[in-house]
Structure 1
């Protein structure tokens, strides 16, 4: 079977700066807290506790967190491989939308449970059969299992960040451990835990075969014959699924490091080179605080948790119960409405503040204008009285003797070459005083005669100060009283 190389690099793990990782199997409660610096992962806190049937896991987890001083951060947890159904499918399409429809049809065929009882997820592994087919990993798990684990973790006072399957953690560690080897080689991993063994075969960074073997380190006291037989049966199924492709190497991990001679037995049974690998050698164990290598934990595999710590960004599956998903949606909507309400209150507060400031400013302006009006009131009254005096004077004054009526008469009476220099219309004395120059006294008398003949003046007289100036012109003054006018 020809497989195309995966287009992403063999190792692209990015450890989180701090993470809390949890795996609860039928035998062990495994909890570690890790930190990362410059790509190096360190286990700073750990707790491993054997579980008896019917144990209160939430209570045990709560005590472990308190006694171990773990950080109360959202936890990444994984479901053991033996509790999920993993299927590798080859689908005749390369279009994501078509693949999604095909997977939807396959879900009901791959499990005896109804769709209401299960949760499922899948991821694309790569192209096979000359690129005409796509290999897909389909994972199916019962809703009750996921719901129970969520409630257990939340009952211990922790939030769940992700609920994946242990296969992803095991794969991540194996890819990290073999990152310097040729990616096109078929390699088998047997990760031995307390009561089961996780078998995966990888090529080009993806799982091409997966199987859960019901044999673990606790059964090793009865001998390795059962284990070897089950490995051989799974190996035969793998050879058939891979259509004759040969596996280059077998790696034993997890609790296998405490089982003497198991690598030699597997190598002899499969006729394939076999070696042991310790996942804890790929992380730093903080001195004096971590006891993961103690003999009492020899039957527990930490491979899945170490792989989750090394590459949390490569965890693709996340199973969430419908109740929790609905609760998160409600919480999200509540937060959105809370933010909207907060912004609305802020907006109303700003509008109210603006209204208060505007009202205060207008009140201040009104008071200032009132003060200015009060200050100008006395001046306005005085000006008004002056206007009344002027109006009264105009009312008492004969309209005939207004300047606009007198000036045409005066200038119409001026003889030729007689010039006025000063013209004073005194309404209070009812007279007009004219100062000017004339070429002769005859012209002055002519001016007096013409003014006397007008209907506006009477009693026109020449002043006594008539003299001749250096220009040989007579400087004169003529006083004309208004006709019928009396001094006011």
Structure 2
């Protein structure tokens, strides 16, 4: 099953109703509807039906909401002198001690805030269920293999169905609306306005009682509920009443209520405005009449994360403990797997390195003769290089002198000693030419320690010339 599937399970005195919804193309649609009748309401009978349903649907751990019928719960309206949630909870506990036939250890209660007044008072409903009832259903589901984490009241399902209908109609009614959800054996009366439930009550009259002889009793119970709502000033004024049923008899019931209450009354079927998947499975629904699915529809068409939840805290604690334990087990398993993987990688690397080393040794042995020959050639080249570097290459020296010599210079002799001392003697018709020659030799990379030994004037025939002598040392570093 996909993760976006939400399942609601409603167990009444006469039937077990299982509905499912999922997201298709961004919209919530009902995808399954199963109804099974029960007679004895025993644990064995309920377990048998749940096994059949859950095995057929292959439901594992999707979001499942169990619905407790309103007739199995208590709803008390209170107005307490505090706006603090902790104080409110303590005050509720003190109030329930004197107003409930059960001890606090035997019940589960949830405050449902209606309004926080500026005066410091808070209006709220206290929703109360016996622990024994919740524990019974939790054990039944555990036998099926499902740990429930959401247990809510049928009134909350009707409220969510009302909110869904308002959103589909794209309008909000300012006054309170009385919803009369008619099921087979019981009917539930809810007072809703916008997104709040202001009061609810269950009466022992259902679709089987919409006959002329019993309809007056149901009308009377509705009138008594409205009178109690008004007397306690529980919420906004009542603007209209809606009968949630798809029975033909609901039309005459509507007329009777309009005469008795003098307010607008409408009949609306549970599946009104509800999208259903094509070829949806409607197991059992065609075989039953007078069954209302508004509670289950309201739950699967809404966000179940914000529901009033009667699941005991120890169930949540156990679930969190199991999740933590599973997390540790997964972490340990991942650690062992990672460690094994590292060992495997390390062993593989060692094996690969061993193979590579053997291949390398083989290649070294194969290349040894060539390496020895290359070493011998290298030694020969080094000897020749050293020998050649210690010698002066005369053509290079002559080319360098030729490039450095000005036009007015004439040489008588060029002499190079064994210790790389170079001597140049000659004459020039201009003294500046001698200086230029010396400057050029200083700049040259081939010479260092350039010295002008002498430069003397003398007459040569009718012209005057300058005899000169320049010495320098050849720079071995610049001959490479």
Whether the aligned pair in 2 keeps the contact of 1:191 and 1:256 (CA below 8 Å) is: no
CA shift at 1:226, angstroms? 1.4
Following superposition, which runs of at least 4 residues in structure 1 exceed 6 angstroms of deviation? Answer: 357-372
* Of 198-207 and 217-226, the range deviating more from structure 2: 217-226
Which digits, 9 at most, give the CA deviation of each residue in 1:199-244, with x for residues without a partner?
1112242112222222222333442121122112111101112279
CA shift at 1:18, angstroms? 2.4
Structure 1 CA distance for aligned equivalents of residues 340 and 28 of structure 2 = 50
**1:239 alignment counterpart:** 230
Matches within 5 A, 1:332-343: 332-343=323-334
**1:165 alignment counterpart:** 153
TM-score, L = length of structure 1: 0.64
Which has more radius of gyration? 1
Which digits, 9 at most, give the CA deviation of each residue in 1:446-479, with x for residues without a partner?
xxxxxxxxxxxxxxxxxxxxxxxxxxxxxxxxxx
Matches within 5 A, 1:382-461: none
Whether the aligned pair in 2 keeps the contact of 1:173 and 1:307 (CA below 8 Å) is: yes
Aligned CA RMSD, in angstroms, stands at: 3.8
3-state secondary structure, aligned to 2:336: helix
Whether the aligned pair in 2 keeps the contact of 1:191 and 1:255 (CA below 8 Å) is: no
Structure 1 CA distance for aligned equivalents of residues 53 and 298 of structure 2 = 22
After superposition, the Cα gap between the structure-2 partners of 1:272 and 1:115, relative to the gap in structure 1 and judged at 3 Å, is same
Whether the aligned pair in 2 keeps the contact of 1:170 and 1:304 (CA below 8 Å) is: yes
**2:185 alignment counterpart:** 195
CA shift at 1:89, angstroms? 2.6
**1:216 alignment counterpart:** 206
Matches within 5 A, 1:239-278: 239-242=230-233, 246-254=237-245, 258-278=249-269
Structure 1 CA distance for aligned equivalents of residues 360 and 300 of structure 2 = 75
Structure 1 residues not aligned, in runs of 5+ = 1-15, 377-419, 423-488
TM-score, L = length of structure 2: 0.65
Which digits, 9 at most, give the CA deviation of each residue in 1:280-325, with x for residues without a partner?
122234447427763x422221110110121134642222246644
Matches within 5 A, 1:1-150: 17-38=4-25, 40-55=27-42, 56-66=45-55, 69-73=56-60, 74=62, 75-128=64-117, 130=118, 132-150=120-138
Across the two proteins, how many residue pairs are aligned to each other?
365
Matches within 5 A, 1:321-400: 321=312, 324-325=315-316, 327-346=318-337, 348-349=339-340, 352=343
Structure 2 CA distance for aligned equivalents of residues 122 and 188 of structure 1 = 22
* Of 250-259 and 283-292, the range deviating more from structure 2: 283-292
CA shift at 1:63, angstroms? 2.3
Matches within 5 A, 1:251-330: 251-254=242-245, 258-285=249-276, 286-287=278-279, 289-290=281-282, 294=286, 296-313=287-304, 315-321=306-312, 324-325=315-316, 327-330=318-321
Structure 1 CA distance for aligned equivalents of residues 94 and 301 of structure 2 = 34
Structure 2 CA distance for aligned equivalents of residues 369 and 249 of structure 1 = 94
Which digits, 9 at most, give the CA deviation of each residue in 1:108-137, with x for residues without a partner?
445322222222223333334x56333333
Structure 1 CA distance for aligned equivalents of residues 348 and 36 of structure 2 = 66
